[in-house]
Amino acid sequence: MPKTPTTNPGTNRTGLQASPMDAKDLEQIAGKGPSPDCEGLELNTLRGRYAKEMNTIGSVPPPGSMKGMATTGMEMLKGHKPTVFIDKLGERLAFERTGVRMYEALLIKHDALGSWDGGPTRQDLVELHNDELEHFNLVKETMKRLGADPTSMTPSADMTAVEAMGPAKVITDLRTTMPQALHAILVLEDTDVEGWKLLIELADSIGQNSLAERFREAEQVEERHQQKVRQWLSSAVLADAQNELGTQGRA
Amino acid sequence: MSKLDDDAFTRVRIILMHGLGQGLNRFLHMAARFNGDIREPLARVRRSSHHMQTMTNWLLPPDDSPIETTIGYEQVAIEVTASVAQHEPDDYLAQNYRFGLLEDFDHLYRYSALLDRLEGKDPNNILQSYTDIAPGRPTWFEHRDPADDLRTPYDRNTAHPLSKLHALTIYTAEYQTRDFYMTVGPMYTDPVARAMYAEIASMEEQHVTQYESMVDPNETWLEKWLLHHGMMVYNYYSCMQYEENPRIKAIWERCLDYQLGQLQVAMKHFKDIERRDPEEILPKDIPEPINFTAHRDFIRKVLEEEVELTAYGHEFMHKDKAPPNNRSDQYRDYMNKDGSPTEIMAEGYQWRPGTEVTAEQPLRKAL
């Protein structure tokens, strides 16, 4: 069924202008004068107290049991706190794995709805999917070599999964248009690039230069993803503004 | 609790006690609608138990996604039911628990496929290797005519008190599972996930029907009131016995104390109104606690021996022994006529460490 772009005017009822009579009554009780000073609110004092009192979300598992500590990989990290590296490797592992699932979801949307001039082709999306898979495998193998457990969920992996929940909801919502989903995946690609940059910096700082080099390759690939997604997204929005997007991509 | 550092059975206990608290609250409200003379004590007990339930449920970690919490719910349904099935003194009731267990076992497998395929996460991060992730009695096959979900109730006069506590425990836990799925199902954006929750919620409604029907409907309101608090005492006591997190263990202990107080209120009214001795109803000693450990061997055995069973009327039988084209066959065909979301979600799914992405091959560029 062809879909009209969601940017076409419709029956949106959310704003005050949609209810001119009721809105007038409602505005009688609206606040007057400046809003409260946020910093002075009890709300923030209370949150500050919780921040001091609450436990952290959890810890990094000990590297592959005590046996893992003795592996050649772990020897490589001697003199440093290995769990910091493991935590961040766990983060990239989880993120790339979710990335694989996100591009699979985008492929479904693409195949169902099509694309537009300047939008992603199927081949483009397959390529990005395969890159995420390759990066996942790179991190998995690195963790194994270090004697870390790639099946564990590290604290940074957990946090990054919470961060990804919003974009993932938009991408897997089959009511959303391809440009809406691309906006969501751009959030993930931006985060991914930053994640790799930090991991490279960390690897360099603990003398893992050859690993840093491999991660740099991955980071450059992710930067290309970022640029591509940004271009696809802007081509859709600009075409829509010229009334040229049509029903493709469900703008 | 910490999602990463606490034991999976701490989550199991939290989810269980929230469910039982929900069941107690539901019962106390219903009782108030039919018993005007005890409205006030019921309201007082209810308010306090409401706050206990809040303290319990708010222990869940907010970094769990709803599917991860769901995995926890199914672990409760599997491991707690397995413990109950092994301790149940009545053979027929034990059979009921084993029957339901294999269905929840399958739900865990289906939801695991969902977690892997939608969020790219490993369900074993939640289950912590205690519980197998494999097909059970297939969810699509679990649809039954309502009459085939009803069971012969225990007899209030002759049943072992532990049988009564067991039935209330599993009935109220399953009720909360149904309610949780009915609440979170529409929050998903993926339409297959939404449909899956709808399908499994329908099975949980069947389970609630089954377990509810095991309870003697001739028990008086006051008998039921006593039993609800007896059940809460038994379960908080069980939680306290197994809890390793000292902060949460102290919470179970505190709730046990409160529940003992509430039990006293119920006992007083039972004596005043029914002029009977609560000892007629409650166990004389606290029974052996719910065993909050993995029941892998037991579950594998039940799976091997009983996965092909179905229910016809109040009885269980091999599915080939049920009359052909019976009411449940017809109902199942109708419910599945457009396919089963859980079958679609889990097609070809096999759990593997670190998700099935670990064995995924690159996609071909051309179709």
ipTM: 0.91
Residue in chain A nearest B4 by alpha carbon = A58
DSSP H/E element including B103: helix B91-114
pLDDT at A63: 74
Task: Tell me which chain A residues have a C-beta less than 8 angstroms from the C-beta of B4.
Answer: 57-59, 153-155, 158
Cβ–Cβ under 8 Å, residues B67 and B111: yes
Mean pLDDT of B20-30: 98
* C-beta atoms surrounding B157 within 10 Å: 9
pLDDT at A251: 46
For residue B356, is pLDDT > 50? yes
pLDDT at A66: 46
Query: Under the phi-then-psi rule, with left for phi > 0, alpha for psi from -120 to 50, and beta for the rest, what region is A64?
Result: left
For testing contact with chain A, the best of B7, B344, B360, B367 (most A CBs within 10 A): B360
DSSP B163-223: HHHHHHHHHHHHHHHHHHHHHHGGG-SSHHHHHHHHHHHHHHHHHHHHHHHTS-TTS-HHH
Top CATH class of A75-242 equals: mainly alpha
The C-alpha of A128 sits at a distance from chain B's nearest C-alpha, in angstroms, of 10
For residue B65, is pLDDT > 70? yes
* C-beta atoms surrounding B25 within 10 Å: 19
Question: What are the C-alpha distances in Å from B135 to residues B104, B208, B235, B352?
Answer: 10, 22, 29, 14
pLDDT at A65: 53
Comparing CB atoms, the residue among B65, B120, B193 nearest residue A100 is B120
Task: Look at A249 and B15; give whichever has higher pLDDT.
Answer: B15
Closest-CA residue to B262 (of B12, B51, B35): B51
Q: Per residue in B98-136, pLDDT tens? A: 999 999 999 999 999 999 999 999 999 999 999 999 999
DSSP H/E element including B315: strand B315-318
Q: Per residue in B170-197, pLDDT tens? A: 999 999 999 999 999 999 999 999 999 9
Asked if A58's CB is within 8 angstroms of B2's CB, the reply is: yes
Asked if A58's CB is within 8 angstroms of B121's CB, the reply is: no
The C-alpha of A218 sits at a distance from chain B's nearest C-alpha, in angstroms, of 16
Comparing CB atoms, the residue among A130, A162, A174 nearest residue B363 is A130
Comparing CB atoms, the residue among B5, B354, B365 nearest residue A151 is B354
Residue ranges for chain A with pLDDT beneath 70:
1-3, 64-76, 247-251
